[in-house]
């Protein structure tokens, strides 16, 4: 779900979609290999989990606030706009009566399947919200059974990737999958930021990870950050859909006012210690008041960007229930994220765990960002937040540069590049072929509607 390259597309199916209604796997015993099948746990990334709002004062109140197509902006502002609590490390709703929860239905799979399961989306097959849906179908077709050998882990993606609740939740899922399958080790499949959450868990719970995990298949993880997308999201926000469809989704600026308080976003800023082939930069065309308003191109590298963020966001605020709430660049969140980066960098893969890396290639991926122009320069830096950015692109999946996705630092069994975009990797035919190969399974039927792409062997 992350990234400016995402677009709202209406899927036209060549055949009726399988498993309409409630989908199930084969019963135990229907597959000769079922007794030896290792469980699979799917871990979503940024924006990849359904979030519900509940009221502490009304136990019956339970409203899906992410993702929703209808009334998206209204409910997003009312329930998801939040503030970071530096004492606890958690992001908390502006309404004290509200708590944000991830539904646990269907053994955790419901929350990461179709992110807006409303009749409207189902009718039109709005593909952008069909998240792990096709992959779940494929795995069920291979004989995996929900609640026995197939599980999902969705989480509140606004929070830090190392926050206690997320770590405890992942541990509980691993334990459940391990015990329910009869003591078989778990094969993890993570997407996007979910890879950072798994890496944090592995770094902080190395022995537990080694006990429960057999294979970790990582898809499109921003191991060293997503420079263009994340730098710009902190300054101007994130827009998931464009054109007429944007009226039905969360606006770019509404999203910005959430992200500026999200530790998970700060944790995906470009790693300052990583040896990039070319360091990502932010450029601003500015009038220099000390030189009679001469227009200059000012450049900020990763180590300098904090000063830009602070200056550009110094007057940032939102209005909630008629009250102004200040939302400057949050240095407390940045310091928390800096510690998270240390935890990520210290992660070591257990010798008993096999690691596989799939990255998206052949898509223009934002890297450097530029605001203003020589003919229309920025005056006050706060104007940056309301400026349309210009990007310099590199190869990647449209969100994560391939350089970052490949820089896991582990001894991988295989690293493979697939020509697909960030979200499209979750429904790509060649990705599915790789998963089946690495999991050692095959499908009973092969007629699902999936995208096609090319595969590039990136070596080990």
Catalytic residues: 192, 397, 422
User: What residue has token string 């606004």?
Assistant: 158
**Who contacts 222 (Cβ-Cβ below 8 Å, separation ≥6)?**
192, 193, 195, 196, 230, 268, 399, 400, 404, 405
Strands 323-326 and 317-320 turn out to be antiparallel
Tell me the longest C-alpha to C-alpha distance in the chain: 81
**DSSP label of 456:** E
Sign of CA dihedral 257, 262, 268, 270: positive
CB 249 within 8 A of CB 72: yes
Cis preceding-peptide flag for 67 (omega within 30 of 0): yes
d(CA 448, CA 75): 34
| Residue 80 main-chain phi, psi, to 5 deg | -100, -20
Distances from the Cα of 321 to the Cαs of 74, 95, 99, in angstroms? 12, 9, 17
């Amino acid at each position: 779900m992350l990234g400016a390259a995402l677009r709202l597309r209406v899927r036209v199916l060549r055949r009726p979609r399988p498993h309409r209604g409630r989908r199930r796997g084969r019963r135990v015993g229907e597959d000769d290999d079922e007794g030896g099948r290792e469980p699979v746990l799917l871990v979503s990334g940024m924006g990849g989990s359904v979030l519900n709002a509940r009221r502490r004062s009304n136990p019956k109140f339970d409203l899906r606030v992410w993702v929703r197509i209808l009334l998206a902006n209204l409910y997003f502002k009312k329930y998801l706009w939040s503030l970071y609590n530096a004492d606890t490390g958690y992001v908390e709703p502006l309404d004290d009566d509200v708590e944000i929860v991830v539904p646990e239905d269907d053994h955790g799979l419901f929350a990461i399947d179709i992110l807006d399961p409303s009749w409207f989306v189902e009718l039109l097959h709005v593909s952008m919200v069909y998240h792990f849906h096709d992959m779940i179908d494929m795995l069920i077709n291979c004989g995996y059974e929900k609640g026995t050998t197939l599980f999902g882990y969705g989480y509140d993606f606004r929070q830090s990737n190392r926050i206690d609740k997320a770590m405890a939740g992942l541990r509980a899922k691993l334990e459940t999958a391990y015990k329910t399958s009869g003591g078989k080790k778990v094969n993890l499949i993570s997407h996007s930021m979910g890879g950072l959450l798994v890496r944090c868990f592995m770094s902080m719970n190395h022995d537990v990870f080694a006990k429960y995990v057999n294979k970790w298949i990582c898809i499109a993880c921003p191991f060293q950050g997503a420079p263009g997308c994340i730098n710009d999201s902190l300054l101007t926000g994130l827009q998931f859909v464009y054109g007429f469809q944007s009226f039905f989704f969360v606006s770019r600026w509404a999203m910005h006012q959430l992200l500026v308080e999200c530790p998970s976003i700060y944790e995906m800023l470009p790693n300052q210690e990583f040896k990039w082939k070319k360091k990502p930069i932010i450029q601003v065309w500015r009038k220099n008041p000390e030189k009679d308003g001469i227009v200059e191109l000012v450049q900020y590298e990763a180590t300098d960007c904090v000063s830009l963020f602070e200056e550009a966001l110094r007057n940032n605020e939102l209005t909630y229930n008629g009250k102004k709430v200040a939302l400057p660049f949050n240095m407390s969140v940045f310091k928390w994220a800096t510690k998270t980066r240390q935890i990520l960098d210290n992660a070591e893969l257990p010798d008993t765990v096999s690691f596989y890396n799939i990255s998206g290639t052949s898509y223009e991926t934002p890297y450097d960002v530029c605001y203003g122009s020589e003919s229309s320069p920025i005056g006050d830096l706060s104007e940056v937040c309301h400026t349309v950015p210009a990007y310099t692109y590199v190869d990647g999946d449209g969100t994560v540069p391939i350089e970052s996705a490949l820089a896991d630092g582990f001894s991988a069994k295989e690293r493979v590049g697939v020509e697909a975009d960030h979200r499209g990797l979750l429904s790509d035919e060649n990705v599915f072929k790789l998963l089946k190969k690495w999991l050692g399974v095959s499908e009973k039927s092969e007629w699902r509607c999936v995208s096609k792409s090319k595969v590039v062997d990136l070596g080990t």
